[in-house]
Amino acid sequence: MMPSDRYLLALLCALLCFCTGCRRERPGTPPRCLLLLTVEGLRADHVTAYGYPRQTTRVRKESSELVLDIDSLAQTGVVFHNAYAPTPEAYASLASLQSGALASEHGALTAGQPLSGEVFTLAEDFARAGFATAAFVGGDKEILAGGLDRGFDQSAVFDSDLEALKAAMAWLRGQDTRAGQLFLWMHFGDLRQPFGGDSLADQYTAPVDPLDEFQLSSDWLADPERGAARQRQLIDRYDGAIARSTLLLHAFLENYRFGFLEQELFDDSLIVICGTNGLELAEREGRFGAGQALVDETLRVPLVFCHPPSLTGRRIFLEPVTPADAGATLRDWFGLEPPALGSGRSLLAICDSFIKREFSSRPARSELVAEGALEARSLRDRRWRATSHGAGTALFDLARDGRGQVDVAERYPEVLELWSEALELPSREPPSREPPSKEEDQP
């Protein structure tokens, strides 16, 4: 072998050793703790970070320092712009988040109905992995009644969100916040009608007729002469209640961060904000509240993941997702086994670009429960929404009718057939197929 050949061979060997011995390290640091914050009745279209003109979810301060609230977490985290609750009922939606399964899969269809023994909660999975776990619920006594407390070392329901926050801080002070692995779930349940009492509605409320006392009834809201003004009162009260919940959440996050600053608890935590369901505010036929229809007002919720040290992927995601997907994602993020049963899929593929994973979009599925049984199903992607009920299947073209008010099933029979078949089987997804363009068709 010539000297030049020996030199070239040695150089190649050295280069090979360098490449195999110095693999690219993963950027950032993984989270050590999970802080799950759920808000009952919070609509995405009333969240400032989602484009709402009122500052309902932003705490205003004079200083330029970053203020911890829903908007700041959205600014530094991943925002799922089109997250849809699997059901308009808070209890069943929370069961989907905890289990990674749809209501028809986990069985907890109505408040207090037992969660299926075939599914595991997030707390059960995190507890098996060695996490200290706790759940503190404000407002709704029935949230933990059917098994959503499974796996928590400590869980309790309180009359108000404020009492629940105080209990959560007391629990944290008794934990190893410097090195221990923690899973804390806080549920904000005060955001429910009639949105009265000590809400902050005054900052939004326009002058009203003092003789027209506020009532939460369909007849009062549907008055032909005063209906529009009365609906504005309802919206003002709702926005004020959101602002109050925002202040409580802000106070908790400030304590979570600065109360454990030396332990770096905040920096080591993946923080998740998830709405459980929305509420109708008399936009459709005077209806108000949750659980009556599969529409954007009751289903579209905010979903935000925030842990900048480990986020390497996209920051705004437009494809439809559900809280069941969030449950599967949290297990994946912390290296736990995926849900044994359920339709939830991990969204880590778009939160983490370091490891390439396949991710295919699919419609978000929601289910309506009435008297303990499934009454209707809905599927939607960014173009279509199909809803099956006793009278048949309705189809809405969201590209032309954003609120989904005009049924175009007769106009697009081929699309209707595809989506009708998909509605029958949770695992069946409609092909990515667009109908022929009909420029003359306008809803």
Using the predicted structure, report yes or no on whether residue 430 has a pLDDT greater than 50: no
Determine the Cα–Cα distance for residues 132 and 98; give it in Å rounded to an integer.
16
pLDDT by residue (tens digit) across 119-144? 999 999 999 999 999 999 998 788 99
CA-based max dimension of the chain:
104
pLDDT at 23: 44
pLDDT by residue (tens digit) across 166-197? 999 999 999 999 999 999 999 999 887 667 65
Strand-pairing partners, residue 300, are: 84
Range with the lowest mean pLDDT among 91-95, 209-213, 289-293?
209-213
Q: How many CB atoms neighbour CB 434 within 10 A?
A: 9
* Mean pLDDT within 5-12: 50
Write the burial class of residue 232 (CB in 10 Å: 0-12 exposed, 13-18 middle, 19+ buried): middle
Angle at 399 between CA 436 and CA 53, to 5 degrees: 170
Using the predicted structure, report yes or no on whether residue 262 has a pLDDT greater than 60: yes
Query: Please, what is the average pLDDT of the chain?
Result: 84
Using the predicted structure, report yes or no on whether residue 78 has a pLDDT greater than 60: yes
Q: Which residue has the higher pLDDT, 349 or 95?
A: 95
How close are the terminal C-alpha atoms of the chain, in Å?
80
Provide the pLDDT confidence category of residue 60 given band limits of 50, 70 and 90: confident
Q: In the structure encoding, which two tokens stand for residue 146, read together?
A: 């059917």
Using the predicted structure, report yes or no on whether residue 365 has a pLDDT greater than 60: yes
pLDDT at 313: 72
pLDDT at 424: 82
Q: In the structure encoding, which two tokens stand for residue 434, read together?
A: 């667009």
Using the predicted structure, report yes or no on whether residue 282 has a pLDDT greater than 60: yes
Q: Which residue has the higher pLDDT, 215 or 102?
A: 102
Provide the pLDDT confidence category of residue 426 given band limits of 50, 70 and 90: low
pLDDT at 139: 83
pLDDT at 283: 86
Q: Which residue has the higher pLDDT, 209 or 138?
A: 138
Using the predicted structure, report yes or no on whether residue 434 has a pLDDT greater than 50: no
Using the predicted structure, report yes or no on whether residue 212 has a pLDDT greater than 80: no
Provide the pLDDT confidence category of residue 75 given band limits of 50, 70 and 90: very high
Q: Which structural domains are found in the chain, ordered by start?
A: 33-351 (3.40.720.10), 364-424 (3.30.1120)
pLDDT at 111: 83
Range with the lowest mean pLDDT among 67-71, 87-91, 108-112, 351-355?
351-355
Q: Which residue has the higher pLDDT, 350 or 84?
A: 84
Is 0.85 surpassed by the pTM of this model? yes
Determine the Cα–Cα distance for residues 422 and 115; give it in Å rounded to an integer.
25
pLDDT at 12: 47
Q: How many CB atoms neighbour CB 114 within 10 A?
A: 12
Range with the lowest mean pLDDT among 143-152, 256-265, 306-315, 358-367?
306-315
pLDDT at 196: 60
* Mean pLDDT within 111-117: 87
Using the predicted structure, report yes or no on whether residue 441 has a pLDDT greater than 60: no
Q: Which residue has the higher pLDDT, 246 or 349?
A: 246
pLDDT by residue (tens digit) across 386-415? 999 877 899 999 999 998 999 999 999 999
19-23, 183-187, 225-229: range with highest mean pLDDT: 183-187
